[in-house]
Amino acid sequence: MIDINLIRTNPELVKENIKKKFQDQKLQYVDEVLKLDGEIRSLKREGDSLRSQRNAKSSQIGQCMKEKNIEQANFIKNEVVKINERLIQIEKDELSLSEKLKTYMMSIPNIIDDDVPIGKDDSENVQRLTVGEAKKVDFEIPYHAQIMESLNGLDIDSARRTSGTGFYYLTGDIARLHSAILSYARDFMINKGFTYCVPPFMIRSDVVNGVMSFEEMENMMYKIEGEDLYLIGTSEHSMIGRFKDTILKEEELPLMLTSYSPCFRKEIGAHGIEERGVYRVHQFEKQEMIVICKPEDSKEWYNKMWQISSEFFKTLDIPHEVMECCSGDLADLKVKSCDLNAWSPRQNKYFGEVGSCSNLSDAQARRLGIRYKSSEGIKFAHTLNNTVVAPPRMLIAFLENNINKDGSINIPVALRNYMGGKDKIYPKK
């Protein structure tokens, strides 16, 4: 949610930003906000004037009672009653208009950074750099589900019977590899100075509305029937929500946190759910990093965070590209974002988002009331989030980039302590 003062003082800038995001249907929201804001401020002025009149009349009533002028006192009392009735109506009107205003404000996208490329969707994202040598092989690499099944590591048919499409069982060395990657990611982030957390896996609706847009919520979140609770789609949601309605100390910033959680997503959209695979599923696990910092530090932290992810994947021998998200591919609360896409030697191209880093400036902080006390007064903090790793999707890239001609999988040095010292895992005959 942007600062309403920006709409008051520069509505054309806000409209231009909406156009850059190709959301012209929201242009009218700016005018609606200005109209509602004017009506609310007018009601506030009227209310302030009436309260001042009421105070004056209360003094007059006291004076009349001293002078035993009962008739005049009763007359003024009737005027005070009318003022109170009007004040009650003003409060109701203010509340109603404020709710409408909030709805429009929460639908207006955040102001994107000046260097964000302009484009309609992810097909117009821009490659910023590549990391690692793209692997070429002289043998045919099987589909990732086949690789996992050859290692007795994946059972989708049973999961379909128990839970439906979009679920899976991981077993044996693949399940162990899955856990090893998460454990390594946890320790990798701790060694970078981040504090490890395990958050709640369900959050209330006011937190959901604070961390994401209405469109994202509708497409992602599972609601618990009969409860004001949602299953988290990423631990960022509950980690940021932890600081709802808090005033932090300036010296506490930046807060550097890394969190583990299972994640649950509807995955509604054009991509659909795979019948035989684990690229797009309803349930997965993830290690996340979150930073809450001062506004002047958020751009620097954005660059630090995606570089940490890039370093992590480099230690696992996974070549990748860093793709700058264009304006139309940015969720409404984001001012800047980039994706890490892994190299697929099977497809001979970069394919598959294995990480995503985002700067949301003060959008979440305004929605949730996350502030800090500085020498200049109370200010809204900036929030950033970034995927460290999200298996099982990341396992696809790992397996393709570490598979040998005989079907065995190399275990990088960084993971061997988490895999019982193994340097390879082999297909099951």
Helix (H) or strand (E) holding 181: helix 172-191
> What is the enclosing helix (H) or strand (E) of 260?
strand 255-264
Domain with CATH 3.30.930.10 in the chain: 122-425
Beta strand pairing status for 283-293 and 382-389? antiparallel
Confidence at residue 129, expressed as pLDDT on a 0 to 100 scale: 95
Q: What pLDDT shows up at residue 345?
A: 94
pLDDT (average), residues 267-273 = 52
Give residue-wise pLDDT tens across range 289-303: 999 999 999 999 999
| Measured distance CA(154)–CA(156) in Å, rounded | 6
The pLDDT, as a whole number, for residue 273 is 55
User: How confident is the model over 343-371, as a mean pLDDT?
Assistant: 94
Q: What is the pLDDT of residues 35-92, one digit of tens each?
A: 999 999 999 999 999 999 999 988 898 888 888 888 888 888 899 999 999 999 999 9
∠ CA 197-315-388, rounded to 5°: 30
How large is the average pLDDT for residues 132-136?
91
Q: How would residue 268 be classed by pLDDT, with cut points 50, 70 and 90? A: low
Pairing mode of beta strands 370-374, 246-249? parallel
Q: How far apart are CA 107 and CA 269, in angstroms?
A: 20
Residue 208 in tokens: 């959901």
pLDDT band at 277 (very low <50, low <70, confident <90, very high): confident
Q: Is the pTM of this model over 0.85?
A: yes
Question: pLDDT over 70 for what percent of the chain?
Answer: 98
> Which stretch of DSSP H or E encloses residue 241?
helix 235-241
Q: Are 385 and 199 in contact (CB under 8 A)?
A: no
How many H-runs (helices) and E-runs (strands) does the chain carry? 14, 18
| Cβ atoms of 45 and 87 closer than 8 Å | no
Taking alpha carbons only, the member of 173, 88, 91 closest to residue 409 is 173
Report CA 78 to chain centroid distance, whole Å.
Answer: 54
Q: What's residue 196's pLDDT?
A: 98
pLDDT of residue 392: 87
CA–CA dist 268, 279 (Å, integer): 14
* Whole-Å CA distances, 350 to 131, 337, 347, 354: 11, 18, 8, 11
In the CATH scheme, what architecture does the domain 4-105 have? Orthogonal Bundle (1.10)
pLDDT in tens, 189-245: 999 999 999 999 999 999 999 998 767 777 788 999 999 999 999 999 999 999 999
pLDDT higher than 60, residue 272: no
The predicted structure's pLDDT at residue 69: 86
The β-bridge partners of 373 are 249, 378
Q: Are the beta carbons of 212 and 237 closer than 8 angstroms?
A: yes
Alpha-carbon distance of 216 to 139, in angstroms, equals 41
For CATH 1.10.287.40, list the domain ranges present in the chain. 4-105
What are the helix (H) ranges across 24-119?
27-66, 70-105
**Closest by Cα among 114, 172, 113, 183 to 358:** 113
pLDDT of 74: 87
| 274 pLDDT tier (thresholds 50, 70, 90) | low
Give the CATH number of domain 122-425.
3.30.930.10
Q: What is the pLDDT at residue 59?
A: 87
How many angstroms from the chain centroid is the CA of residue 328?
16
pLDDT value at residue 269: 47
Distance (Å, whole) CA 134 – CA 318 = 9
CA separation for the pair 344, 143 (Å, rounded): 11
Per-residue pLDDT at 61: 86
pLDDT at 275: 62
Whether 270 has a pLDDT exceeding 50, the answer reads: no
Please state, in angstroms and rounded to a whole number, the distance separating the CA atoms of residues 229 and 212: 15
The residue among 3, 8, 55, 63 whose CA lies nearest residue 31 is: 8
10 Å Cβ neighbour count for 56? 11
Give 138-182 pLDDT, tens digit per residue: 999 999 999 999 999 999 999 999 998 889 999 999 999 999 999
The per-residue pLDDT for range 333-344, each reduced to its tens digit, is: 999 999 999 999
Helix (H, G, I), strand (E, B) or coil at 350: strand
Rounded Cα distance between 359 and 239, Å, is 15
